[in-house]
Structure 1
Amino acid sequence: MNQTILTLLQSIEKNFEISDYGKECCIICGTDKNITKEHLLPKWVFENDVKKSFFISPEDTLYSYRLSYLPCCKTCNSSVLGNFEHHIREILKRENKNFTISEKEDIIFWIKYLDFKFKIFGVEKACHRNTKSKSNIGLWNKPKNNPKNFFYDLFDLPATTNSLIISEPKQKNFDFFYWKDHYFSITLPQCNVSIIYFFTNKIENIEEFCNIF
């Protein structure tokens, strides 16, 4: 496993021994000092476009990407997470998309880390929505769930990478689908890649998932 990912895992594991999720504290190290914003989706993913929003079903409430974040201290955000995101971005934007097993496992871990954040935030289902709405909903106040219930999924990488599908995107626009514990899909035109990952075998085809929305 990549060293930056191992560092991230070890930091989060330590966090669960010391942090109090009744207050705003870093999701990585647990400190309540120098808190910054750790976005549910990294800003590079949606190319830092503040006009973009995504909705959360079943309420169809619009959430601003830039305002959907969790607390993270400045040190973890700039070093631990910064190295982690840089590593993933470099893998995905590479012209040669014939990823090794190790690289695929790193991508899966990245997806599971995103899933980890969405679960803490309290998101069940989400997808990208192009809109002119000025909705600013998305501010995090208190955890919706106990993060301990979700952390250990990060260690549970699949024995194979058969649940991961990576392909050239059929469209040139950013897109995103998420269903907690079932499915994650994201299209990154800046990396010329589409990623689909199935958390379980409950969904057998893409059409079944898309009909939910």
Structure 2
Amino acid sequence: MSINLKLVQFRKKIRVNQKKVIDTIIGDHSTQSCIFCGETSFLTKEHVIPQWVYNRCTKRTFVTTTNGVSQTYNKTTLPACKDCNSNILGALERHLKHEFEKTDASIQGFSNETLELIILWLQTLEYKFQVLDLRRNLNKVKGADYIPFIGKMPISMFQGSPDTSPAKVFSNLRASLKALSIKSKSKKLNSLCVIYTKNQDFHFFHASNEFIFIELAEYGVAFFFFYNRIFDDNADAIIAAREIVEDHYSDKGT
């Protein structure tokens, strides 16, 4: 089955089951059901960031900004049924890896069809991070007072603006899953920045419901995507992305 037909199947599954999926996740953040379609059988471990992205290195970590705690990529997983994980999303990633391998970002661009698939892939990462942040509790931060009641609350309640409410978190979760069911990403094309890179290592950072930056050193390309900002011109998105990237690396002392 072609990737397009598999994605048709994926979108249909989400549209039919999205209310049940979100209601289940809200009701039980640790529910053992597929985070995409709600299936409870044939569950697998879906990596929040795919293993191939960081060359399956079990020592690589990422830091949650709210906790300041490092977590290994290979152990950061969510439940997904075999069909959604391996058959559909696995096929999407294999298709994109093939596109990355055959395209030299320094001399040519990706087709609009491929760019839309990249956007879909980045939207799946955003949705998975939102679910993950509902499943993780706020830990004690070094040098700060720890309040047991607050410690039992999901990290997602502390992401974004200071007045983030549970209702807003759940609304964002619904919207991020719904985005996966929308076929055309044409309105979002200007929100995706494709960057040629010579860096030798994988880099990643993201802000929930705002943006994601992911650098694929193996393929000489990086992507910065604004989840909810629409730009009239891609050049404007590139300027905005550059400011955020520079601030991020400045904060890291690099």
TM-score norm. by structure 1 comes to: 0.79
Q: 1:71 to 1:208 in 2, by over 3 A?
A: same
**1:34 aligned onto 2:62:** no
Q: 1:149 to 1:95 in 2, by over 3 A?
A: closer
Alpha-carbon shift at residue 4 of structure 1 (Å): 3.3
Which 5+ residue runs of structure 1 have no aligned equivalent? 124-141
CA offset digits 1:22-71 (Å, max 9, x no partner): 32101222111122100110111111110111100032111111111110
Determine if contact 2:61/2:72 at 8 Å carries over to the other structure. Answer: yes
Aligned partner of 2:246 in structure 1 is 207
**1:163 aligned onto 2:191:** yes
Q: Separation in 2 of the partners of 1:69 and 1:53? A: 13
CA offset digits 1:63-102 (Å, max 9, x no partner): 1111111101223322122212212222222234421112
Which of residues 103, 106, 122 in structure 1 aligns to 2:114? 103
| Counterpart residue identity of residue 116, structure 1 | Y
The number of aligned residues is 195
Does the residue aligned with 2:206 lie in a helix, a strand or coil? strand
Which of residues 175, 179, 182 in structure 2 aligns to 1:153? 179
TM-score norm. by structure 2 comes to: 0.67
Q: Separation in 2 of the partners of 1:26 and 1:9? A: 14
> Higher helix fraction: Structure 1 or Structure 2?
2
Determine if contact 1:115/1:180 at 8 Å carries over to the other structure. Answer: yes
Q: 1:192 to 1:11 in 2, by over 3 A?
A: same
| Counterpart residue identity of residue 196, structure 1 | F
Please report the RMSD computed on the Cα atoms of aligned residues, expressed in angstroms: 2.7
Aligned partner of 2:97 in structure 1 is 89
Alpha-carbon shift at residue 210 of structure 1 (Å): 4.4
Of structures 1 and 2, the one with the larger relative CO (CA 8 A, separation 6+) is 1
Does the residue aligned with 1:33 lie in a helix, a strand or coil? coil
- Identical columns (%): 26
Aligned partner of 1:12 in structure 2 is 14
